[in-house]
Each structure stands twice: as C-alpha cells, then as structure tokens.
C-alpha cells in the first residue's frame, strides 16, 4: 500500500491529557474507518499534527468499541519526503535503463528531459543520432525515440517519469521533431482510421511511421520518416504542395506509397 493510502490521523488532546488521534480518512478494507480513536505507543506524535499510521492494529475496547493501536507513525511532511525520494529513485532507474539502450550517459538524458520540449527533442536527437518526436507543455512532456522502423522508446515526463519500448506505429501527436533523415506529415487527405492503417502498412514495408487524430478538433495525420534525398520523400512532398480534390489526393498518395485502397479500407 502507498504511504498516502495509509490511515490519515489528526492528533488531539485526550481525556487523560495524553495525545490521541482521530482517523480522518482511511481504507476501510483493513478495518480502520473515519472517526475511530487512535492510541499511540510512546513516543506519541506532537499535538495538532497530521500523521499517517504505518504500523497499527484494530482492537476492541472494554466497552466493545473498536479503536486503533498505533506502533509506528510518520508526519505528513515525512511521507511527502519519502515519496519524493522514492519517485526520484524510480525516475533514475527508468532513465538508467533507457540510457543504456540509447548508449548515452544517464546524466545527459536527465539534462535533456529538464529542457523545454523543443530543446529536449533537438538535443536528444543530436546526442543519440536518432529520430525523436515530442509533445509537451511546462514540466510535462512525452518523447518518442525511434530505435528501428518498428520499435521506439516512449518516455513520459510528468509528476513521475516512466519509459518503455513500444511497437510502431502508435498514436502520437507530433508537435516537435528532430531527425537526420526527412520527416513528412500527411495531414491533408485522410480520416483517422485511414491514417492508422497507412502507418501500419508503412511499418510493414520497413518505413517508420506514427499516426494521430480521432479526437474532436484534432487534425488527422500520419508522420513518416524517410531519407530526405529519396524519391519517395520528394514525391510525397510534391503531392502535399499540390492543390487537388481530396478524393483524388488520397488515391495519388496511396499509389506513390504503394498501398492499396483495400489495406486502408477505402471503398471504390
């Protein structure tokens, strides 16, 4: 059980001038409920202090009423500090594993994640020599670092930090991108489900891709990574810059990508 999920108690003065507690919030599954009296083993916590019960036992009084006997407690501040320390350790562990995969020092990775999203994407891309996608605001950010055409590391930085290897394609809203190759975003022709199927087809062909959309107001897109000097990159860019009816544009895109209408469920 998380420390913050332990019974929360406010200390008050008891009848015998001793310090007792009153349970303010608790997980009733272990028998502790709000309003129960808490008796502390020595030393008791200070008066008018909010504490969490760490080691305790529910007992019956001589009158048959339930009360809590507490053997170990922590103040709210102590719990906050312990949780912060644990989160830092978890963050360090997650980033150490990630830095090994990316072959960069963990301190370099941590410094990158402290930057704003645009700089984080660029610096991480240069350090790893990999394609990096990102989205974020303030302290929160998500990064996608491509390992192969079908694998990537997904890093989520918020109140906690976690990282995992994911299969491509995934649903990812690319706001920032860095690549030593070319990155092209097709966002002017396809529905969300079509973007998803196109991305799947491209990954099967060995071409890294992610997709996004589906939400109200979101722009449907498929983001593709290709060599800048490749014929395919140049042709896709030319199509995007061309003004033509959407139905025609869809077919042209698919023909150039070598994807059939059946693969993306577009009917004749």
Indicate whether 268 pLDDT > 70.
Answer: no
Q: What percent of the chain has pLDDT over 90?
A: 69
Task: Dump pLDDT digits (tens) for 242-255.
Answer: 999 999 999 999 99
Domain 3-79 CATH class label: mainly beta
Per-residue pLDDT at 196 exceeds 90: yes
267 pLDDT more than 80? no
**Tens-digit pLDDT profile for residues 223-244:** 999 999 999 999 999 999 999 9
**pLDDT at position 1, please?**
60
On the CB side of 184, how many CA atoms lie within 13 Å of its CA?
A: 22
Q: Would the pLDDT of 36 be above 90?
A: yes
**What is the average pLDDT score of the chain?**
91
Does residue 171 register a pLDDT over 70?
yes
CA 154 – CA 152 distance, rounded (Å):
6
pLDDT tens digits, 80-128 = 999 888 888 888 888 898 999 999 999 999 899 889 999 999 999 999 9
Instruction: Write out pLDDT tens, residues 132-151.
Output: 999 987 778 999 999 999 99
pLDDT surpassing 80 at residue 76: yes
- Quote the pTM value: 0.73
Residue 250 · residue 244 · CB < 8 Å: no
Higher pLDDT, 179 or 262: 179
pLDDT (tens digit per residue) in 39-48: 999 888 999 9
**Sequence spans of domains, the chain:** 3-79, 103-176, 181-257
- pLDDT (mean) for 202-209: 97
Full strand arrangement of the beta sheet holding 176-178 = 161-167, 151-157, 140-146, 132-137, 176-178
């Amino acid at each position: 059980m998380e420390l913050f999920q332990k019974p929360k108690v406010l200390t008050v003065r008891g009848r015998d001038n001793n310090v007792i507690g009153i349970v303010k919030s608790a997980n009733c599954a272990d028998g502790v409920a709000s309003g129960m009296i808490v008796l502390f083993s020595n030393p008791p916590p200070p008066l008018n202090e909010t504490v969490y019960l760490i080691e305790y036992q529910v007992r019956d009084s001589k009158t048959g009423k339930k009360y809590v006997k507490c053997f170990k407690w922590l103040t709210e501040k102590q719990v906050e500090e312990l949780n912060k320390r644990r989160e830092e350790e978890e963050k360090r562990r997650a980033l150490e594993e990630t830095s090994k995969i990316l072959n960069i020092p963990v301190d370099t990775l941590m410094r990158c994640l402290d930057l704003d999203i645009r700089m984080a994407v660029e610096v991480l891309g240069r350090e790893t020599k990999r394609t990096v996608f990102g989205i974020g605001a303030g302290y929160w950010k998500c990064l996608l670092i491509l390992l192969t055409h079908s694998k990537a590391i997904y890093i989520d930085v918020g109140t906690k930090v976690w990282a995992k290897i994911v299969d491509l394609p995934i649903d990812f809203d690319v706001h920032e991108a860095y690549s030593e190759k070319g990155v092209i975003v097709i966002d002017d022709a396809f529905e969300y489900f079509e973007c998803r199927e196109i991305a799947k087809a491209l990954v099967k062909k060995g071409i890294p891709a992610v997709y996004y959309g589906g939400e109200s107001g979101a722009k449907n897109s498929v983001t593709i990574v290709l060599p800048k000097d490749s014929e395919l990159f140049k042709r896709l860019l030319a199509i995007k810059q061309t003004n033509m009816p959407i139905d025609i544009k869809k077919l042209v895109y698919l023909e150039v990508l070598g994807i059939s209408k059946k693969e993306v469920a577009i009917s004749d």
